[in-house]
Structure 1
């Protein structure tokens, strides 16, 4: 129950079902994801953190991750994602690799930022200020080294 996030690795075809991080209980109305049967399938995958981070921190990570991912999709026309399926969906469905997911998660400096910085980050994401988000993350990483 302390790990609330999962990764959606394949677009569903609707704008509400794009690849990214989600909260298990909000999207599936359960506390955890159990995989049975086709274990080679890669959606959804619950994320486990070591060391454990708080649910509030995970929510901020989700917001950060999805904001950065959507900004990249917009700026790069989703070219960094693998085409999953051409269909009659609103857009070409894409696949987000697990390596890409891990690397993007690792850019977030969890357990290294104080409450004031978290609030600032939340507000910058809400304002969709990508350049300031990157500056803030870079500053946090430099200060923690």
Structure 2
């Protein structure tokens, strides 16, 4: 799947507005790894996402740069040997610690369409994304 960054997203949305998928995960999350493998294996899903959405894969424990998103700036919050990006906390309903994987789907105007915590099966994701495109 083609993925981008938050900084690219601003430019892309001005040139060619599309719905956005933000996938929040961590490198240590075993469910995230299984899910990623299953989703990437589904060729129709990959094509659907690549053609109709902007996808951002976001590991909030590794991303330490400042991110501008929806007119606000978000920073990495160090905590001893680890930390978390405050954008992940802002997007998550659980403000102390997001549940992984977390999927945020926004329309082309950056309005929240869907919020999905935990494993997102390819068939369920395809159904959800096809509904988004019908709006």
- TM-score, length-normalised on structure 1? 0.29
Task: From the two aligned structures, give the one with the greater strand fraction.
Answer: 2
Q: Which has the larger radius of gyration?
A: 1
Task: From the two aligned structures, give the one with the greater helix fraction.
Answer: 1
Point out which structure has higher relative CO (alpha carbons under 8 A, 6+ apart): 2
- TM-score, length-normalised on structure 2? 0.31
